[in-house]
Structures are given as C-alpha cells and as structure tokens.
A = this chain, B = another copy of it.
Amino acid sequence: MRLLEERIIKDGLVLSDEVLKVDSFLNHQIDVRLLAEMAKEWKRRFSSDQVNKILTIEASGIAIACIAAEIFDCPLVFAKKALTRNIAGAFFQTSVTSFTHETVYEVIVSKRFLGPDDRVLIIDDFLANGAALTGLVKLVKQAGATLVGCGIAIEKSFQKGGDRLRKEGIRIESLARIRSMNQDSGIEFEH
C-alpha cells in the first residue's frame, strides 16, 4: 500500500537492520486518518469474506483494529496479556514467547466473545517472528471460530513469521512488506 510505504519512508526511524520505529504515527502517537485508509484497504481485500469479528492483542494493535472494526461494521475483541498461567476456565488461553523481550506471557480471550459463529479477521501492527499472531490463531482455533485471515500493517518479511504462517495455509495481507532495512541505505519494500 503506497500510502503506508511513503509514510514509513517519511516518518519511520530505522534504528538497526531489524528495528523500525513508527511511534510518531502508528503505535504511540497515532494518525487516525492513516488508520482509516489502511482499514479501507483491508476491507477491499477481504470484501467477500463476511468478516463479523475483528481480533487483536493489547496494546499497540488496539487502535488499528478499532478503526478496522468501524469499517467492517463489526465488534472488536482484544486479547489480553496475563502473567498467571492459571486463569479461570472462562477464557481461551495460550502462551506466547516474545523474542523481542525474551519473555513468556499468557494471552487470553473470554469464551463469551469468540465462538463457532465468528468469522474472524486478526489485525496487528507488526509481523516479524509471528509469535503474537500464532497465539491469536490458536485462540481462534480453540474457539471453533473461522479464521478468515490476518491484516498486518508492517511485515518484516526478512524474518520468518509471515512465511511460516502462510505455509500453514493462513491468509496474511500485509500493507507494507519490508524486504530489508539499513540505517545507511534505507528501507527496501517487497512488491
């Protein structure tokens, strides 16, 4: 999506070959107009999939997913991060290992808000190793819901999460796919 790529070039900060900072428009300060355009693009790509629920994970996915839920005219559910392994049986639950922070956390969704009638589009801001996304996919399966696909803002396609999940048959629509990045030579996108 050209609009997002141009914004990444203009306002993104390449901190290393692996770390891109987009906190001025995507995950600390948020440009809601940009988010609306991104949501419309996902709506275009998933127009015939009868999405009736958007799922994301706190915290940085919530804003993007919220505007997407508006455009798809359906409820948003965000999975919560929990530290304890034993939540009451009222939740779907799985463990996520964060490569970035070298921690393991639990991800939970109330059983009241995800079930067999749901056609779920997962939305998140980043896809790199795919740890969080894999956790969300597991929650959808636990619920017996239908996973329509995943809408990602920025995929670092030089990391392995996207390829691995696509090989499992999961549809992933990333609006900007970064093939490589470097503080000197800048960002190269896949098209």
Residues of A participating in the B interface, judged by any CB pair closer than 8 Å: 23-24, 28-33, 35-36, 58-59, 62-63, 66-67, 69-70, 73, 75-78, 80, 109-110, 112-113
5 additional A-B residue pairs with CB within 8 Å, beyond A28-B80, A58-B59, A59-B78: A28-B109, A32-B66, A35-B66, A59-B62, A62-B66
Find out whether the CB atom of A70 lies under 8 angstroms from the CB atom of B36: yes
Say what secondary structure dominates the interface of chain A. mixed
Tell me the bound Cα distance from A76 to B31 in angstroms: 7
Stoichiometry, as copies per complex, reads: 2
Find out whether the CB atom of A110 lies under 8 angstroms from the CB atom of B23: yes
Query: Which residues on the B side are within 8 Å of A59 (C-beta)?
Result: 58-59, 62, 78, 80
Query: Which residues on the B side are within 8 Å of A69 (C-beta)?
Result: 30, 32
Tell which of B23, B63, B109, B113 touches A66, judged by Cβ atoms closer than 8 Å: B63
Find out whether the CB atom of B66 lies under 8 angstroms from the CB atom of A28: no
Find out whether the CB atom of A76 lies under 8 angstroms from the CB atom of B62: no
Find out whether the CB atom of B78 lies under 8 angstroms from the CB atom of A28: yes
Sampled A-B contacts (23; CB under 8 Å): A24-B113, A28-B78, A28-B109, A28-B110, A29-B76, A29-B112, A29-B113, A30-B66, A30-B76, A30-B77, A31-B75, A32-B66, A32-B75, A32-B76, A35-B66, A58-B58, A59-B59, A59-B78, A62-B63, A63-B63, A63-B66, A66-B67, A67-B67
Q: Which chain B residue shows the least CB distance to A53?
A: B29
